[in-house]
Amino acid sequence: MPPKRKPENNEEGNSKKKTKLSRKLAEKIQEEPKSLVVKDETEPQTSAAKGAAEQVGIDYSCDARNKHGNTFNVRITNWNVDGLRAWVKKEGLSFVDQEKPDIFCLQETKCSIAKLPKEIKDVKDYKMFWHNSNKEGYAGVGLFSRDEPLSVKYGLGNEEHDSEGRCITAEYEKFYVVSVYVPNAGRNLVTLPKRLEWNKIFKEFIKELDEKKPVIICGDMNVAHNEIDLTNPKTNTKNAGFTKEERDGMTDFLADGYVDTFRQLYPDKTGAYTFWSYMRQARSKNIGWRLDYFILSNRIADNVCDNIIRSEVFGSDHCPITLFINI
C-alpha cells in the first residue's frame, strides 16, 4: 500500500506546546442545540492543508526510524470514540484531519449506519466501513481507509459475537488491519465468561489471518496487561480489565506470535494510559488504564517506527493512539 501522503519528518519544525483545544471546542450553548460547537473565532482560519495541527500545538510528525533504519510510510490511528455522534460534536473529526492517518480504526461508535451524522457522511478522504451491533447504541466499530482495501471482512464468523459489531478486518497488499472492540467483562464480571469465550475465537481468527499475511490489530482490548499498565493495579485485581483471567488472556495471545508495540518500544514507561474513567476527574489526575493497543505479528514488529499515545486529545474517555510503521 503506497502512502498517499509523505511523512513530514519534522520538516516544519513544529512548536510542541500542548494546548487542550478540544476542551475549548466542546463548549456548548444550552439554548442553541443546532450549534453545539463553538469555534474559536480568535484563531484565523488557515487552509485545511496548512493544518490545524499547528494551531492545536500537537506535533503530528514522526521522524523515528525502525530497526531497519527507515522512517514510517504508513500511519495508523486507533480511537475508542465512546459514541460517534457525541464524538463528532466534540470535534473528533478535526483530530483526524490533523493526524491524517492512512487508516483510522474506531471503537464504540454506538451508531447504526442510518444514524450517522452528516459530518461523517461528508468525509471525502476515506472509504469507511462499519460493523454495528444489532443492539442500538451499543458497541460498534469502524475503519476509515485512505486507500480501498483489497477486501473487508466483518466479524469473526461467530454468530453471537458478530451480532455485537466488534471487528472489521481490512486486507491490504502486505498486511491485514483489524479494528476490534473486545467485550468488557462487565460490572461484577458478569460477562467475563463471554469475554474468555471471545478470546479463544479471536485468537483462532487472527491465527488464520496471520498464516496468510502479517496482522496489525488495532483496538480496545479491554485489558491492562500488566501492573505498569494502570495506575491502581492492587485495587483492581477483581475488576473488569485487570482480572487474572483477562491478563492471562493477553499473555496467552501474545505468546502465539504477536507483540504489543507500545510496550516493546517503551518497556519501562509508567503513567502511559489510553483510558480514564470520567468519574472523579480521573483524567486530570492521570488515574488511567492502557486498554488500547497495536498488536502486530512478530515478523513485522521491527518495522515499527513509533507508537504514540495522544493523551492530550479529548473527545472520549479513551484517547487516540497512533502507529508509525514502514511496511
Contacts with DNA by CB under 7 A lie at 30-31, 33-34, 82-87, 90, 110-112, 115, 136-139, 183-184, 186-187, 191, 222, 240, 277-280, 317
Query: Is 229 among the residues known to form the active site?
Result: no
* 300 and 175 Cβ atoms separated by less than 8 Å: yes
> Which listed option, DNA, a copy of itself, none, makes contact with residue 277 (CB within 5 to 8 Å by class)?
DNA
- CA torsion, ordered 5, 40, 43, 79, to nearest 10 deg: -20
Q: Does 87 bind a copy of itself (CB under 8 A)?
A: no
Q: For 285, phi and psi rounded to 5 degrees?
A: -95, 5
Residue 64, CA distances (Å) to 52, 271, 324 in order = 22, 22, 8
Region near a copy of itself per CB under 8 A, out of 22-30, 61-69, 170-178, 255-263: 22-30
Is 220 annotated in some ligand binding site? Answer: yes
Is 80 annotated in some ligand binding site? Answer: yes
Please state the closest distance from residue 224 (CB atom) to DNA, in A: 13
The set of cell numbers assigned to 116 is 450517522
* 51 and 61 Cβ atoms separated by less than 8 Å: no
Is 260 annotated in some ligand binding site? Answer: no
Looking only at the bridges linking them, the beta strands covering 304-309 and 321-325 are antiparallel
Residue with cell 476527574: 281
Query: Is 268 among the residues known to form the active site?
Result: no
Closer residue to a copy of itself, CB minimum distance, 90 or 247 = 90
CA distance 124 to 259: 33
Site string for a copy of itself, 27-46 (x = CB under 8 A): xxxxx---------------
Closer residue to DNA, CB minimum distance, 239 or 264 = 239
Region near a copy of itself per CB under 8 A, out of 25-33, 135-143, 152-160, 238-246: 25-33
Q: Which amino acid is at 275?
A: F
* 313 and 22 Cβ atoms separated by less than 8 Å: yes
Query: Is 256 among the residues known to form the active site?
Result: no
Set 60, 176, 181, 273: catalytic member: 181
Is 318 annotated in some ligand binding site? Answer: yes
Q: For 85, phi and psi rounded to 5 degrees?
A: -70, -40
Q: Angle at Cα 306 formed by Cα 305 and Cα 307, nearest 5°?
A: 145
Please state the closest distance from residue 32 (CB atom) to DNA, in A: 8
> Which listed option, a copy of itself, DNA, none, makes contact with residue 206 (CB within 5 to 8 Å by class)?
none
Binding site for a copy of itself (CB under 8 A): 23, 26-31, 90, 314
Q: Which residues carry out catalysis?
A: 181, 220, 318
